[in-house]
Amino acid sequence: MQVIVRPTREEATRIVARLVAKAVRSNPDLVFGLATGLTMERLYARLVRIHREEKLDFSLVRTFNLDEYVGLAADDERSYHMYMTKHLFSHVNIDRRNTHLLDGMAKDLDAECQRYEDLIKHCGGIDLQLLGIGRDGHIGFNEPLSALYSRTRDKSLTPTTLAQNEKYFGGRDKMPHRALTMGVGTILDCKKLIMFVTGDSKAAVLAKAVEGPITSMMTASAIQLHPHCIVVADEEAASKLEARDYYRWIFENEPEWKEFR
């Protein structure tokens, strides 16, 4: 794992956007795993800017989102389908037929999850997967005690996750309590992971995920098992990382980070 700590949220966002742009340029039909949430909104805004100003080409890129709420239709404005349309898909030259999300309205949720797993396999696996981290340490909606080998399935959301996201629904009683999510095992199968974390509300969970024990109680800690994982954090989110001076040294000195400095 490599951990990149940048002084501000903007700087951290810039680095992640540069890493994604480089991946798309070197592999135009990249299979790109997408995440949602407030942190990623800023990243997508930056990618849209790179598309406009530097002609970053999404025309062949294929995408898979991590998760979707059960019971929300694709055209429900609170769904992750709509989130993606609003923040990325409608602003870049992506072919919508190449964008894939789980169907939270599927009659047979197990079959829908299997379809998704099969489709990922059919596309040759995910090349690059973006990850946020939830306040309960989840990746995707892999809530505590999700098996580290789990595959795409439906999950009940924890009170912490409901509290984190109820603002988008105008109250907890109005929001879905279940979601479909790629499993931790599905995520670990991706060829490369980028975890992007900002803000002091994530400092404690990020420290546990990166430097704590690997445990299904904190599914983000599973990234420690992955051979190609980059964590990009701003100073606030990194404030509880014990080895942050070492991480800073690597970014400032290692040749592979030169182009990003």
- Sites of contact with ligand PGA (CB under 6 A): 37-39, 132-134
Burial (CB count <10 Å: 0-12, 13-18, 19+), residue 28: exposed
Q: Which residue number, 45 or 107, has a Cβ lying nearer to ligand PGA?
A: 45
Instruction: Tell me which residue has its CB nearest to ligand PGA.
Output: 37
Q: Which residue number, 39 or 93, has a Cβ lying nearer to ligand PGA?
A: 39
Q: Which residue number, 37 or 144, has a Cβ lying nearer to ligand PGA?
A: 37
**What is the C-alpha separation between 111 and 181, in angstroms, rounded?**
13
**What is the C-alpha separation between 90 and 163, in angstroms, rounded?**
29
The sheet carrying 31-34 orders its strands as 2-6, 229-234, 192-197, 128-131, 31-34, 62-65, 99-100
Strand partners, 154: 180
Residue 120 contacts residue 186 (beta carbons within 8 Å): yes
The least distance separating ligand PGA from the CB of residue 67, rounded to whole angstroms, comes to 9
Angle formed by the axes of helices 38-54 and 80-87, to 10°?
Answer: 30
Q: Which residue number, 94 or 132, has a Cβ lying nearer to ligand PGA?
A: 132
3-state helix, strand, coil in the chain (%, to 5): 45, 15, 35
Residues 6+ apart with CB under 8 A from 105: 71, 72, 73, 74
**What is the C-alpha separation between 56 and 89, in angstroms, rounded?**
13
The least distance separating ligand PGA from the CB of residue 97, rounded to whole angstroms, comes to 27
Q: Which residues are catalytic?
A: 67, 136, 138, 143
